[in-house]
Structure 1
């Protein structure tokens, strides 16, 4: 597990006030919504704001591409890495 994976998991925990959850309890490939963590659209907005604040990444709320980025921790890490490479 990379430090970026840990960072993203901690960002999710912090953004959503999930104090009772530890980074080790979030599976990198587990879905963040529906199954897995069971997050909802409000949680997605909070994560989106945290991504924008921490990494300068702006996402379109209603795009299919954004839904793919929010599929799992692995997908968010890939997004952050691809954005970093563009800079």
Structure 2
């Protein structure tokens, strides 16, 4: 699971063009939105598309379950691990 977390951290940095941040700077349990990494709803859409492209996962943009998956890198990795098709 750690390798997948590292992959997702890299995907976050790459897809959102985050400069001056490395995968090691992202705490896998830290919040991705508001506090923590400080992402916003536009970032969520871009990250969701990147996850769909890379891992073949599907998610509903306005579901509470999807919001929970985007809570942290660790939660995203668990979701991708159980849902990916590629």
TM-score normalized by the length of structure 1: 0.93
Calculate the aligned-residue CA RMSD, in Å.
Answer: 1.5
Q: Which 4+ residue blocks in structure 1 deviate beyond 2 angstroms?
A: none
What are the ranges of 5 or more consecutive residues in structure 2 without an aligned counterpart?
none
Q: Give the deviation of 1:19 after TM superposition.
A: 2.5
Matches for 1:56-67 after TM superposition, within 5 Å: 56-67=56-67
Return the alpha-carbon distance in structure 2 between the equivalents of residues 35 and 26 of structure 1: 12
Q: Give the deviation of 1:76 after TM superposition.
A: 0.3
What are the ranges of 5 or more consecutive residues in structure 1 without an aligned counterpart?
none
The higher relative CO (CA closer than 8 Å, separation ≥ 6) is in 2
> What are the superposed Cα offsets for residues 11-62 of structure 1, whole Å, 9 maximum, x if unpaired?
0000100021100000000000011001000000000000100000111110
TM-score normalized by the length of structure 2: 0.94
Aligned residues: 86
Return the alpha-carbon distance in structure 2 between the equivalents of residues 34 and 44 of structure 1: 11
Q: Give the deviation of 1:68 after TM superposition.
A: 0.2
